[in-house]
Chains A and B, each alone.
Chain A
Amino acid sequence: MRGTHLRRPLRRRRGAAVLAAATGLAVLTGCGAADMTRQASPYAAAEGAKTVTLSVQSWVGAQANTAVASYLLEHELGYRVDTVQVDEVPAWDALSQGRVDAILEDWGHPEQEKRYVEGKKTITRGGDLGVTGHIGWFVPTYFAEAHPDVTDWKNLDKYADQLRTPESRGKGQLMDGSPSYITNDKALVKNLGLDYEVVFAGSEAAQITQIKQFAKERKPFLTYWYEPQWLFERVPMTEVKLPEYTEGCADDPEKVACAYPHTPLQKYLNTRFAQSGGEAADFLKKFRWTKAQQNEVSLMIAEEKLSPQQAAKKWVERNENVWKPWLT
């Protein structure tokens, strides 16, 4: 074998090698072009079941949606559900590529909507989640009760001294959370001329831990926060009034000087999944619940430390009348 190789002219040998390599690659990967819009997880459907992949974002509300949807998909419709934890913007990207089939709670990403829903049409709207989200600045209620005027942004500067921390460079501290969240806070502080420094906690976990720590000592604090959120049940917080939100007032990120809007949270599905996802896709389109229902599940996960599956199971057992219509 080796001898024949050596006797062959060099060019033929190299040609043969290239051909062999090409054939090998083609056989290995199943000829032709690879479809980057159809990418599955290697862990999916290991037991040969129909699989749905849902994305989960880092906040507990998103976990609650996914937990209940997964539970019903698995126990009522016989699917296997894979969940992938990923930040919002990468999640959109994953949705367009078919790595995940659905996002259940989106807080509004106009740029991504334009690109994927209207432009490439790889993502389809899945309707309202039923929950309305709102971002704002919050102080703990015990502080707001002691100083009622703190709940207007115009009076915030009076309290800057009390809200100082080692990180706030001598000003008051406005605590922001995860870098993946939508925020205009730096511009707001500047444009409203407030004596505050935005301190980024860097992750929601860090922010919650810090809020709980402040609350335990009944210390005042000012934080970026959002509803619906289970933490309100543990640490009651009161919103600080910012200049009213008007259509388009937040369009220029440099000049923004108004509150955050109230956003009906949206579901989005991968287009191919939406069209041929069968019962699972229909179910996810119909999935719609209220803020209170979501919080009920969130609290079980975050405070009672139930696993998302256990929390979903409990809720599903108690609320048959809510979820039955989603399945028809």
Chain B
Amino acid sequence: MTATPTPTHAQAGSRAAVPAQARQSSGRPAAPAPSRTAPAAQDRPRRGLRGPAAGRAFLLPMGVALVLLIPLAAAFPGAGSWPAALAVDLSGPLGRAGDWIIDHRDSHPLFLYFFGHVSNAVVVAVRAVYVLLLAAGWTGVTALAALVAWRLAGIRLALTCAAAFAACGLLGMWVPTMQTLALMAVAVAASVVLGALLGLAAGLSPRADRLLRPVLDTMQILPAFAYLLPMVLVFGIGVPAAVLATVVYAAPPMARLTALGLREADAGVMEASASLGATGRQRLLTARLPLARRQLLLGVNQAIMTGLSMAVIASVIGAGGLGDRVYQALASVDVGAALAAGIPIVLLAVVLDRTADAAGRRLGAEPVPLGEQHLLRRVFAGWYGRLLTVLTAVAVAVAGRMAGTSVWPESWTVSLADPVNSAVAWMTDHLYSGVPVVGGTADWAARFTGWILDPLRSGLQAAPWWLLLLLACALALLAGTWRTALTAVLALAAVGVLGVWEASLDTLSQVLAAVAVTLVLGFAIAVGAARSARAERLLRPVLDVCQTLPQFVYLIPVVALFGVGRAPAAAAAIVYALPAVVRITVQGLREVDPAVVESARSLGATRAQLLRQVQLPLARPALLLAVNQAVVLVLAVVIIGGLVGGGALGYDVVLGLAQGDLATGLVAGAAIVCLGLLLDRVTQPAKEA
């Protein structure tokens, strides 16, 4: 169905096409979107109809109030920052908490009998997988991956799989790839188990669902950097902290999809099974779970993708593997080496995602009659087929070992570093400045900073705090209900209470500017791609790479092009958020009823008219979703922005981790969560409120 690592999953798409796409396309944080795209659209469709109407009723007085208040605000200059009396300083208690952990870590029973064992169990598990992968050797691993892919999806994916693993070896990254794979296997397994348990609770009890929803939201929006530090304090640097941080991030999608699957179970089937006298547990095991298996599988897929996106971030706390190679390459400003370690991450994502996707589609498909299958497929069918797959892989592994090539031979590697580095050098030599007519990238960056970022930041920081609260309230009412408005206002107020008002507004200005550029570029590209299937095909691999390539890899190129500051931070965010916007928009435009388009065309509408008056209005829900995703994804890269001079909250989070300063890191992280909530609420399409 698709050649992307972030496919659309027809089965989910048939019910909630666009939301499913959104879930998919956000390789990293699909953050709050899943919580209310698919699930909310389905289980609470009616409330949305009431919501916006109620919101609109408030709007007029709100507008009048704003008009009256703005001159008032102008009359009180200096009311810009959040009043100190309303702020709480958390650095004392948080600092003491950090010290307590360090001082009691080696002696307190909580650590000796609980965290210590958790930590050891993780190490034992990762080690077991790693040793197994090394023992299988590159021949065994590649063979097993290809055979599994072939069983699930056919020969093309099998070849892709084998090629992908070979590429990891060719790039000289075999051992780090296996380390990452081992870590991922354990982290994803733990995420799936934890997510399924949480999802089970949320799916069976509406009360648990209400309780869990904000928890899951926080787990996903809180920047990983912010909770790496508590993880490090409790577990120490290295694999256990990395695995558990990944679980925090990768479990929510699984939980959400499990809950969704359980709640969606066909009422008729449930009724029938109840009338046959099945007990609650029997119904769960024989009817509900099997009916939800597609969502479960999609959840596994999402856990894999989100888990992989953490691979590099986890390396900051010593997780090793590919992420560590990317990170170490940065130290010597070596883009080529960083890319060589980043590519296997992209390849792993593509291969794992497509295999999981194929497995998902097989669940839905009618089995092909045995007689019509290819002979080889018939041999590999059924449980003995599974056995045969494993045996074949073992045989290949043994053969490989006997041939003495368990580790990828060093002479079979290609160095990517030199060509890439010279390409980057050429790019920065020729594009940085002095390009005729359009100006160099440095000039663009300066203009973007001076004309867009600066006015936006000074505007936000100079505006009185209560005016911004009112504005947030008005915008949220415009988009949703009084409830979303309340959340938005509280989220913004929380930023002030946490004592990071100024930094948060700085970050907010960067996010808004980056979102604007993302949307302009994304819509333009999408309109082009929606018209031409060929353009879309060409675009697809580019989008895949943008989405799955670890952002650390392009840190240096963006600085080389745009200089240190907020402009490269915005550029990195745009690169990351653009694919989701393009994908959602293209899909939205494509799904516009062809009959409507045809009739408009027959009435003599030009292409421009068609786009403006028919396609775009009809695709409005998709466009709104694209806006929402752009916001969420840009926000996810704020930390990366901190690494290239973006300053503000992103820098604070990085500083917190680097200096072991629990207060700075956590407070800035919490502020990012609040901004996420605020922006999500004011951009979220009304019908899904």
> Are A and B bound to each other?
yes
**Chain B residues with CB below 8 A from A82, complex form:** 320
Residues B115 and A305 in contact, CB atoms below 8 Å apart: no
Residues A43 and B179 in contact, CB atoms below 8 Å apart: yes
Which of A120, A175, A305 lies in contact with B336, CB distance below 8 A?
A: A305
Does residue B48 face the partner (Cβ distance < 8 Å to A)?
no
Given contacts A115-B102, A199-B564, A90 and B556 within 8 Å (CB-CB): no
Residues B449 and A42 in contact, CB atoms below 8 Å apart: no
| Closest chain B residue to A97, Cβ basis | B236
Which of A28, A167, A204, A208 lies in contact with B645, CB distance below 8 A?
A: A167
Residues A46 and B660 in contact, CB atoms below 8 Å apart: no
Does residue A276 face the partner (Cβ distance < 8 Å to B)?
no
**Chain B residues with CB below 8 A from A89, complex form:** 658-660
**Chain A residues with CB below 8 A from B555, complex form:** 203, 205-206
Shortest C-beta distance, B633 to chain A (Å), equals: 20
Which of B121, B317, B450, B655 lies in contact with A29, CB distance below 8 A?
A: B121
Count chain A residues whose beta carbon lies closer than 8 angstroms to a beta carbon of B: 63
Does residue B421 face the partner (Cβ distance < 8 Å to A)?
yes
Does residue A86 face the partner (Cβ distance < 8 Å to B)?
yes
Complex Cα spacing A216 to B429, Å = 9
Given contacts A41-B238, A165-B565, A175-B564, A199 and B112 within 8 Å (CB-CB): no
| Closest chain B residue to A42, Cβ basis | B127
Contact bitstring A144-173, B, C-beta under 8 A = 1, else 0 = 000000000000000000000111000000
Does residue A222 face the partner (Cβ distance < 8 Å to B)?
no
Does residue B384 face the partner (Cβ distance < 8 Å to A)?
no
Contact bitstring A38-50, B, C-beta under 8 A = 1, else 0 = 0111110010000
Residues A58 and B331 in contact, CB atoms below 8 Å apart: yes
Residues A93 and B236 in contact, CB atoms below 8 Å apart: yes
Does residue B11 face the partner (Cβ distance < 8 Å to A)?
no
Given contacts A85-B324, A179-B655, A36 and B105 within 8 Å (CB-CB): yes
Does residue A104 face the partner (Cβ distance < 8 Å to B)?
no
| Closest chain A residue to B127, Cβ basis | A42
Given contacts A40-B123, A199-B564, A201-B644, A60 and B556 within 8 Å (CB-CB): no
Residues B559 and A210 in contact, CB atoms below 8 Å apart: yes
Does residue A242 face the partner (Cβ distance < 8 Å to B)?
no
Does residue B433 face the partner (Cβ distance < 8 Å to A)?
yes
**Chain B residues with CB below 8 A from A323, complex form:** none
**Chain A residues with CB below 8 A from B116, complex form:** 33-36
Does residue B395 face the partner (Cβ distance < 8 Å to A)?
no
- Interface residues in A93-131 by Cβ distance below 8 A to B read 93-94, 97, 99-100, 115, 120, 122
Does residue B418 face the partner (Cβ distance < 8 Å to A)?
yes
- Interface residues in B550-574 by Cβ distance below 8 A to A read 555-556, 559-560, 563-568
Shortest C-beta distance, A287 to chain B (Å), equals: 20
Shortest C-beta distance, A96 to chain B (Å), equals: 8
Shortest C-beta distance, B282 to chain A (Å), equals: 14
Given contacts A43-B130, A86-B318, A34 and B119 within 8 Å (CB-CB): yes
Which of A36, A165, A209 lies in contact with B556, CB distance below 8 A?
A: A209
Which of B236, B320, B421, B442 lies in contact with A39, CB distance below 8 A?
A: B236
Complex Cα spacing A90 to B334, Å = 24
**Chain A residues with CB below 8 A from B650, complex form:** 202
Complex Cα spacing A44 to B646, Å = 37
Residues B564 and A90 in contact, CB atoms below 8 Å apart: no
Residues B237 and A90 in contact, CB atoms below 8 Å apart: yes
Residues A87 and B433 in contact, CB atoms below 8 Å apart: no
- Interface residues in A22-37 by Cβ distance below 8 A to B read 25, 28-30, 33-37
Residues B328 and A56 in contact, CB atoms below 8 Å apart: yes
Residues A85 and B642 in contact, CB atoms below 8 Å apart: no
**Chain B residues with CB below 8 A from A81, complex form:** none
Does residue B651 face the partner (Cβ distance < 8 Å to A)?
yes
Complex Cα spacing A208 to B130, Å = 36
Complex Cα spacing A206 to B331, Å = 10
Residues A302 and B332 in contact, CB atoms below 8 Å apart: yes
Complex Cα spacing A178 to B327, Å = 14
Residues B651 and A202 in contact, CB atoms below 8 Å apart: yes
Does residue A84 face the partner (Cβ distance < 8 Å to B)?
yes
Given contacts A29-B120, A99-B318, A178-B658, A37 and B331 within 8 Å (CB-CB): no
Shortest C-beta distance, B593 to chain A (Å), equals: 47
Complex Cα spacing A97 to B101, Å = 13
- Interface residues in A56-91 by Cβ distance below 8 A to B read 56, 58-60, 63, 82, 84-91
Shortest C-beta distance, A197 to chain B (Å), equals: 11
**Chain A residues with CB below 8 A from B647, complex form:** 199-200, 202
Does residue B44 face the partner (Cβ distance < 8 Å to A)?
no
**Chain B residues with CB below 8 A from A60, complex form:** 331-332
Does residue B113 face the partner (Cβ distance < 8 Å to A)?
yes
Complex Cα spacing A242 to B442, Å = 31
Residues A167 and B565 in contact, CB atoms below 8 Å apart: yes
Complex Cα spacing A94 to B231, Å = 12
Residues A179 and B556 in contact, CB atoms below 8 Å apart: no
Complex Cα spacing A94 to B324, Å = 16
Does residue B643 face the partner (Cβ distance < 8 Å to A)?
yes
Does residue B657 face the partner (Cβ distance < 8 Å to A)?
yes
Given contacts A40-B123, A203-B643, A99 and B567 within 8 Å (CB-CB): no
Contact bitstring B92-116, A, C-beta under 8 A = 1, else 0 = 0000000000100110010111011
**Chain A residues with CB below 8 A from B644, complex form:** 201-203, 206
Given contacts A42-B126, A179-B659, A205 and B556 within 8 Å (CB-CB): yes
Complex Cα spacing A307 to B334, Å = 10
**Chain A residues with CB below 8 A from B332, complex form:** 60, 63, 301-302, 305
Residues B117 and A34 in contact, CB atoms below 8 Å apart: yes
Residues B446 and A85 in contact, CB atoms below 8 Å apart: no
Shortest C-beta distance, B560 to chain A (Å), equals: 5
Does residue B399 face the partner (Cβ distance < 8 Å to A)?
no
Complex Cα spacing A56 to B316, Å = 11
Does residue A293 face the partner (Cβ distance < 8 Å to B)?
no
Given contacts A167-B564, A202-B646, A87 and B657 within 8 Å (CB-CB): yes
- Interface residues in B176-229 by Cβ distance below 8 A to A read 179, 182
B interface list, Cβ under 8 A from A: 102, 105-106, 109, 111-113, 115-117, 119-121, 123-124, 126-127, 130-131, 134, 179, 182, 232-233, 236-240, 315-318, 320, 324, 327-328, 330-334, 336-337, 417-418, 421, 428-429, 432-433, 442, 445-446, 449-450, 454, 555-556, 559-560, 563-568, 641-647, 650-651, 654-655, 657-660
**What 4 pairs across the A-B complex have the smallest Cβ distances?**
A34-B116, A180-B658, A42-B127, A179-B655
In the complex, 21 of the A-B residue pairs with CB atoms within 8 angstroms, ordered by the A residue number, are A33-B113, A34-B117, A34-B119, A36-B112, A36-B236, A42-B123, A42-B127, A84-B237, A85-B315, A87-B657, A93-B233, A166-B450, A167-B645, A178-B658, A201-B645, A206-B564, A206-B568, A206-B645, A209-B333, A210-B645, A216-B429
A86-B237, A204-B331 given; 8 more Cβ-contact pairs under 8 Å:
A33-B109, A36-B111, A87-B658, A90-B232, A179-B654, A201-B645, A203-B644, A209-B564
